[in-house]
Chains A and B, each alone.
Chain A
Amino acid sequence: MPNEQSAVNTDSCVIENTSIKTFGTEVPVSGRLSIEKLGNGLWHFIWDSYTVINSKNVDKIYDDEAEFDKDLSFSIPFSQIKRLMRRMPVNAKSFLVLTLTNPLVMYGRTVGPVYFDDGGLPELFRFLINLNAIQLLSPDMFILTQTDAAPARTPDPLASIYKDVPAKPANLPNRPKKEPYYRLVRRISPQKFTEDELKQMAIEESMDGSRVTTAFIESNLMDSRGVVAFEELRANLRHRSSAPDATAFSLEMLLGIFPKDSTAADREDIRGTDKCRYLRYKQQVLSFDPEQLKNFSTLEEHMQRVEKDAVRADRDNEFYADQPDTPEILIGGMRCHNPNILKVYHIVCAHLMLNMDLGYAQGMTDFITPVLELTDGDEARTFWIFAALMRRYGDNFGLGERNTIQRRLEEVWRLTAIVHPELAAVLRDRDCKALYFSYRWLLLLFKREMADYRSVLRLWEVVLSCRETQHFDIVMAVAHINSCLHDYVAQVTSPDEVTDEYLLQASSSWPTIDVRELAFNANMILATIHDSLNEDFLAPRKRRIGDR
């Protein structure tokens, strides 16, 4: 079993006992896949077939029998590989697809994509990443960027033109330039999209047919009774954003508000029951009179906190901003001019009746505001999405032993050390292991780091639809650190600039997260740390006898 500690062999990567399928044959051919440098110094994908192809598994097109006794082995230089795709289909083994620049011709037939079974794919990807030879095109599509592992620097084409120009303009004093203190080499280079590229992606995404719409779900993913093909829905949402008309339903399915096998009629029933339950909780919490509350100080305290936070929830968003025409609404001791604020207040207060042990903690309203706007002010629906989010993430707000945020931060740290050991070494050396800046990311599922509700909801959808891990939010945090924190540490001119305080300060100027970019980079990281993931880190820690 490979383990993360073992040194990675940098000379070659060999996967024994894998198999490929190609040119239409239904029989997988077993063999040995490797990445090696051949005599000419170029990296190659090499396939050594264990079996010899014969006329039984290839359509006969040549008369020459001898042609068929050739085995299927080949070696392809990186430069001839157009792209690599790692496909992770629902309910099936993942596989690799090689697409070549010039189709490989064997036996007079074009060899199409080569399918490798998932034998050691994580190692293969790790190897390629160590070679610095990989670049991501989309969550599961990669291209090989270097034909040679040696940093083949192409000579600057302009060098000769500028060779007589002084390096610095003469009128500037020649001040000693401060060099960056740390030389950090990233193992996984994050993909950074330009503004134009992002715009283009947004346009493509908003086009019909590109997003998961209600019509698409109904006609493609539902049977006649309205049972949703859940895994397919999940796989779709993983890679494609839901259209606004389908987002609430998608969240409800992903969060398990409706059972996976529920029919349309079941869901109607559940919606009805849930609505009644919500109204009952709301009725309960609002029925306390002042004297009761005075003698139920825990509830009173929680409700007062909700008041304070409800009136300042996302006032910069039109949906919650003061409306000059709306008469003053009193919420406990606070005032507002927007009925949607009152709804936020009702939803959180009703939640106190569902889970008083959790209670209200600052930041919880951030889980409500995007959803309430999405459902156009549907309180009951928003309440249950909120409640389901709290079932999953509420312990991040929990008290004492129940609080999980610390363990999540530790997990971010552990994975960062795997993904970017050099950066982790600097942080360890400088005793900056707290990662305070990522606290808010994890607590509010990046809600405050996004530009608008659409992006927030998309990010939540990506996190909830991830099949490989329950904790994709943590992988996203690792990706963001690999990108932004690296950039900061790589430019400091003194180790004194690497302290918890400086890092926190730096983080406040990091750009707003683009969900496509972050998801993209997190997917790339996920593909490489796949077998280092530990899904059980939130489980109660066992104490052994003798432990203090």
Chain B
Amino acid sequence: MAESEEYYDYLFKLVLIGDSGVGKSNLLSRFTRNEFLYESKSTIGVEFATRNLKMEGKTVKAQIWDTAGQERYRAITSAYYRGAVGALLVFDITKRATYDNVDRWLKELREHADPDIAIMLVGNKTDQPHLRGVSTAEAQQKAREAKLSYFETSALSGDNVEASFTELVKEIYSIASRAQIDVAGSSWVPTQFRPDHAESVPLGGPAKPASNGGCC
């Protein structure tokens, strides 16, 4: 575990955005630690967690940032879009208002994030179908129009959580492996995330883990 955490070929910074209370923090804890906290509190400031994924034999470290949903905190959180290559825009399928705000969040992404950021729309809380206020078809329609992929998840049951994150990472991976051929200096792998044993960022080809690797 420790070993796989330390060595990676790519590092992708992803951000979770969406209204407060839609379940961003629990999606993150479900994906990175397979945990769901019934007692989770509102997120203050910024938190993050990481998880490594395998893509075509390469290790991708997903570094996922979780931000406070409330508008008032966006000023301070906007710095966190820096270097982000993917975003999960989450709404709560049982709360219509959180879906209505999706456009506001897209606007914010356009303003603060890299124009090439990969965005996935996520309708969370499918474990409460009896309270559903947004239909799947409707959300799919919106996603199509905005050229986003769409997933419905339940952080509580774990349904589709793995699939949605993996899909987003896969999407970024395929863009990144294309981009590394022609875009020098792109933000796909922010230099500050470079592992200290890597010679270079994988713009001209993924860096190789140190050959004498293995820490303990």
Q: Which residue of A lies closest to B216 (CB)?
A: A175
> Are the CB atoms of A443 and B42 closer together than 8 Å?
no
Cβ contacts under 8 Å, A440 to chain B: 44-45
A505 to B49, CA, bound (A): 8
- Contact with A443, one of B45, B70, B194, B196 (Cβ below 8 angstroms): B45
> Are the CB atoms of A316 and B42 closer together than 8 Å?
no
Which of chain A's residues 295-316 have a Cβ closer than 8 Å to chain B?
A: 304-305, 308-309, 312-316
Cβ contacts under 8 Å, A443 to chain B: 44-45
> Are the CB atoms of B72 and A399 closer together than 8 Å?
yes
* In the complex, B174 has a CB within 8 A of chain A: no
Cβ contacts under 8 Å, B47 to chain A: 504, 508
Cβ contacts under 8 Å, B20 to chain A: 305, 308-309, 362
Which of chain B's residues 70-89 have a Cβ closer than 8 Å to chain A?
A: 70, 72-73, 75-76, 79
Cβ contacts under 8 Å, B40 to chain A: 312
Cβ contacts under 8 Å, A305 to chain B: 20, 70
* In the complex, A148 has a CB within 8 A of chain B: no
Determine the interface band of chain B, counting residues with CB < 8 A from chain A: 20 to 34
Cβ contacts under 8 Å, A28 to chain B: none
B89 to chain A, nearest CB (A): 18
* In the complex, A64 has a CB within 8 A of chain B: no
> Are the CB atoms of A501 and B68 closer together than 8 Å?
no
* In the complex, A388 has a CB within 8 A of chain B: no
Which of chain B's residues 37-82 have a Cβ closer than 8 Å to chain A?
A: 38-48, 63, 68-70, 72-73, 75-76, 79
> Are the CB atoms of B196 and A315 closer together than 8 Å?
no
Q: Which residue of B lies closest to A496 (CB)?
A: B196
* In the complex, A122 has a CB within 8 A of chain B: no
Determine the interface band of chain A, counting residues with CB < 8 A from chain B: 35 or more
A366 to B68, CA, bound (A): 15
Cβ contacts under 8 Å, B76 to chain A: 405-406, 439
B187 to chain A, nearest CB (A): 14
* In the complex, A184 has a CB within 8 A of chain B: no
> Are the CB atoms of A361 and B70 closer together than 8 Å?
yes
A405 to B47, CA, bound (A): 18
A366 to B41, CA, bound (A): 10
A467 to chain B, nearest CB (A): 29
Cβ contacts under 8 Å, A365 to chain B: 42
> Are the CB atoms of A505 and B42 closer together than 8 Å?
no
- Contact with A333, one of B46, B95, B195 (Cβ below 8 angstroms): B95
A333 to B42, CA, bound (A): 17
Given known A-B contacts A362-B20, A501-B63, A313 and B41 have beta carbons under 8 A apart: yes
Which of chain A's residues 338-384 have a Cβ closer than 8 Å to chain B?
A: 361-363, 365-366
Given known A-B contacts A496-B192, A496-B196, A499-B192, A363 and B42 have beta carbons under 8 A apart: yes
A321 to B38, CA, bound (A): 10
A448 to B194, CA, bound (A): 31
Convert A310-335 into 0s and 1s, putting 1 for each residue whose CB lies closer than 8 angstroms to a CB of B: 00111110000100000000000100
* In the complex, A76 has a CB within 8 A of chain B: no
A440 to B66, CA, bound (A): 14
Which of chain A's residues 491-516 have a Cβ closer than 8 Å to chain B?
A: 493-494, 496-497, 499, 501, 504-505, 508
Cβ contacts under 8 Å, A316 to chain B: 39
Cβ contacts under 8 Å, A309 to chain B: 20-21, 42
Q: Which residue of A lies closest to B42 (CB)?
A: A362
A229 to chain B, nearest CB (A): 38
Convert A383-410 into 0s and 1s, putting 1 for each residue whose CB lies closer than 8 angstroms to a CB of B: 0000000000000010100010110000
* A residues adjacent to B (C-beta < 8 A): 304-305, 308-309, 312-316, 321, 333, 361-363, 365-366, 397, 399, 403, 405-406, 434, 436-437, 439-440, 443-444, 448, 493-494, 496-497, 499, 501, 504-505, 508
A-B contact pairs, 13 of them (CB 8 A): A309-B42, A312-B21, A315-B38, A321-B39, A361-B70, A362-B72, A437-B45, A443-B45, A496-B194, A496-B195, A496-B196, A501-B192, A501-B193
Given contacts A309-B42, A362-B70, 15 further A-B contacts (CB under 8 A): A304-B97, A312-B21, A313-B41, A333-B95, A361-B70, A362-B73, A363-B42, A399-B72, A406-B76, A436-B46, A440-B44, A443-B44, A501-B193, A505-B48, A508-B47
